[in-house]
Amino acid sequence: MTEHTILTIAGIMALGGACQWLAWRVRLPAILFLLLSGLLIGPVTGWFDPDALLGDLLFPFVSLAVAVILFEGSLTLRFSEIRGLEKVVRRFVTSGVLVTWSVTAMATHWFVGFSWGLALLFGAIMVVTGPTVIVPMLRTVRPNAKIANILRWEGIVIDPIGALLAVLVFEFIVSSEAGGALGQTLLVFLTLIGMGTVIGLAAGFLLGLALRRDWLPAYLFNVATLAAVFGAFAVSNAVAEESGLLAVTVMGIYLGNRKGVPIEEILEFKESLSLLLITVLFILLAARLDFSSFTELGWAVMGVFLIVQFIARPLKVTYTTWGSSLTWRERALLAWIAPRGIVAAAVSALFAIKLESQGYAGANLLVPITFVIIIGTVVLQSLTAGPLARMLKVSEPDSSGFLIVGANPLARTIAAALEQQKIKVTLTDTQWDNVSRARMAGLKSYYGTPLSEHAELYLDTSGLGRMLALTADEHLNALACTRFRSDFGAKNVFALEVGSKGSGANGRARANAMATGRGAFAAGANFVELSRRVHRGAEVRRTNLSEAFTIEKFREVHGDRAVPLFALDPKGRLEVFNTAVPLEPGPGWTIIALVDPPPPGERKPNTEERRAQAEERKSQAEERRHEERRHEENERRKAAEAEATAASAASGKPTDEA
């Protein structure tokens, strides 16, 4: 029996890992494959019965897993970020929630026959979307920046809000079922809210104090945080039954908004633990489904799905985008994309188990109807959102921007040169000093490793189609190439050699690292040497090629003092010099190179060299004039927009933008 249990657990882990890998390969939400796997091994074949495996431990496992997921989600809910968002996004995660909640609750009550309490609970669960399904979909759909930012922030912020709403509705249902006068019911309800809030704030304060004052060593941060979450959940439930989920949600919100608490350290354990919990939980919950429950729901459940997809979401988008600058095409895509994810499945399963144990009528149907909405929205929207975005002409036409791994001086110099060519650039680095300097230089940057799950949710890659690894860590460069090769394609992933090529074990390690991506820039270029040149005053310069001044002449004039980085073809497309496919730019092309300053006492150039240098200065002068004209056009456009805004304000018309 013990061996069978061990094999079952190992098999679930292996199956979950295979589902995650398959989702990564085909670039679809992992939830789809996890649900299908759970249905296959559970109700379809009968190979796996979660209740038989876990027995009385099933409910505690689901409860603790949901507590961790809600805590992690609430850590990302920062009030400063919500205040900084535009009105459309604020509406999406506040008053717009009421639209989805009310419409879904009414549809469930009228179509399926749920009681108002259960219908309101289901409506509260359905307000969430979730970044675990939104982010993979955005990579495939590639909508414009406005749509991508709205959907991404909605998914991140609305998870803890929706879960908190569902917890409060559940607590009200439990309080009402306890009987007694309305006043007594409200008193019990307020007691649950009060105890959950107080215990959550107390636990968050104590943990934040320990982390801020270094009472714990760094290697215990993850263990202490997990213990604090479990402790707050258990204590809150012991003091006021069913208040634990509210406590951990409040705890996460408090820590996420407390200054000086190393949130990045706390979030580290999410990288593995949350992924493991999500993987196992989805398979377990799907395997517990009973097809007879779907039969009991009947075709009426399709009416609920259609209402959620075609009425609730469009009504919410219509309300939240009213008076904004979003076009009808952008609103149409926003109204189509709203897949449900892990929080909806986990919270519905948890509350269904609790309500069933109390004999609440219809509670056994809460999970099946939730899974119908999850599967329906994920499948329908994953298959159709991309074509719809292209048909509406709201998808990114060409992802030509660069994700640069590293924000060191060399990376910042190259990023600034790309920005001058109007190429979108985002830098990422784990060193705050580098990120801070990049932001001070006006460069968009992400603080953290691009390989983390946090980056999966927060690193905005819209408009980016190429990756350039420019760090002193060759292993990080190789991992970044492997990570983004599936997103950008193997031919669009580049890594700069860290040092000069060696032999033996080090040489083979570098060769293996570079095999995952193309070698960036001219042959022989490496991070150490280029960084030294930047430190000594080397600058990125642009040189136009012509019939008279060819690439050979460029190399002859500059010699080893110039390292070609990029080339612009006559149509303005930017290519990267690399070791895999050598570039041979011709007349009409433009070379962007890192050029050393002339050494002291350098001999005077001869006539031919002076002619070449004059041609280069002419090219640079033309580029400066072009930049000045572009700057003047931008200033005129801004002035016109300011006048239009003033006129609109005077006329009383709204001017909110997403």
Question: Could you please report the per-residue DSSP string of 139-198?
Answer: HHH-B-HHHHHHHHHHHHHHHHHHHHHHHHHHHHHHHHHT-S-HHHHHHHHHHHHHHHHH
Are 169 and 220 found together in one domain? yes
Predicted local confidence at residue 507, as pLDDT = 47
Check if the beta carbon of residue 148 is closer than 8 Å to that of residue 460: yes
Q: What is the rounded CA–CA span in Å between residue 548 and residue 543? A: 13
Whether 344 and 405 share a structural domain: no
Domain range for residue 436? 401-602
* Interatomic CA distance for residues 631 and 469, integer angstroms: 31
Task: Write the Ramachandran bin of 241: left for phi over 0, alpha for psi from -120 to 50, otherwise beta.
Answer: beta
Distance, in Å, from the CA atom of 11 to the CA atom of 13, rounded to the nearest integer, reads 5
The Cβ of residue 437 has, within 10 Å, a number of other Cβ atoms equal to 17
Contacts of 321 (CB under 8 A, 6+ apart): 88, 91, 331, 334, 658
Q: Domain check: are 138 and 251 in the same one? A: yes
Evaluate whether residue 231 is within a structural domain.
yes
Q: Is position 649 within any domain?
A: no
Amino acid at 292: S
pLDDT at 182: 60
Return all residues near 654 (Cβ < 8 A) that are at least 6 apart: 323, 324, 648
Q: Do 388 and 435 sit in the same domain of this protein?
A: no
CATH number at 71 reads 1.20.1530.20
Q: Are residues 358 and 435 in the same domain?
A: no
Q: Quick one: 366 and 473 in the same domain?
A: no
393 within 8 A of 102, measured Cβ to Cβ: no
Q: Is 77 exposed, middle or buried (0-12, 13-18, 19+ CB in 10 A)?
A: buried
The angle, 0 to 180 degrees and rounded to 10, between the axes of the packed helices 95-111 and 116-125 is 130
Domain boundary among 560, 582, 602: 602
pLDDT of 510 = 47
Co-location of 285 and 360 in the same domain: yes
For residues 435 and 418, give the distance between their C-alpha atoms in angstroms, rounded to a whole number: 17
The CATH number that applies at residue 499 is 3.40.50.720
Buried b (16+ CB within 10 A) or exposed e, 19-57: bbeebeeeebbbbbbbbbbbbbbbbeeeebebeebbeee
CA distance 625 to 619: 10
- Residue 220 tokens, joined: 């215990």
255 and 385 belong to one structural domain: yes
Divide the 658 residues of the chain into consecutive groups of 10 and give the mean pLDDT of each group: 77 88 76 86 87 81 81 70 65 88 94 90 88 74 81 77 79 70 66 86 91 82 87 89 80 82 68 76 84 82 93 94 87 92 81 83 87 88 88 78 92 91 90 91 89 76 86 89 82 86 46 62 86 89 84 82 88 84 84 82 54 63 67 70 61 44
Cα distance from N-terminal residue to C-terminal residue, the chain: 58
**Pick from 271, 269, 272, 277: nearest CA to 223:** 269
Number of domains present in the structure of the chain:
2
287 and 375 in a common domain: yes
Tell me which of 352, 369, 392 is where a domain ends.
392
**Residue 627 domain flag:** no
Nearest CA to 482 among 13, 139, 24? 24
**Does residue 361 fall inside a structural domain?**
yes
Residues 380, 407, single domain; the answer is: no
> Could you tell me if residue 537 is inside a domain?
yes
Cα–Cα distance measured from residue 108 to residue 372, given in angstroms and rounded to the nearest whole number: 13
Residues in the chain: 658
Residue 465 lies in a domain: yes
The predicted pLDDT at position 231 comes to 93
Tell me how far apart the alpha carbons of residues 142 and 64 are, in angstroms, rounded to a whole number.
Answer: 35
* Residues 380 and 431 both lie in one domain: no
Task: Evaluate whether residue 212 is within a structural domain.
Answer: yes
What pLDDT, on a 0 to 100 scale, did the predictor assign at position 153? 77
Q: Is the dihedral of CA 411, 412, 413, 416 positive or negative?
A: positive
451 and 311 share one domain: no
Asked whether the beta carbons of 585 and 567 are under 8 A apart, the reply is: yes
Contact 525, 496 (CB under 8 A): yes
pLDDT of 267 reads 66
501 within domain boundaries: yes
Give the domain-ending residue among 556, 580, 602.
Answer: 602
Encoding tokens for residue 516? 């995952």
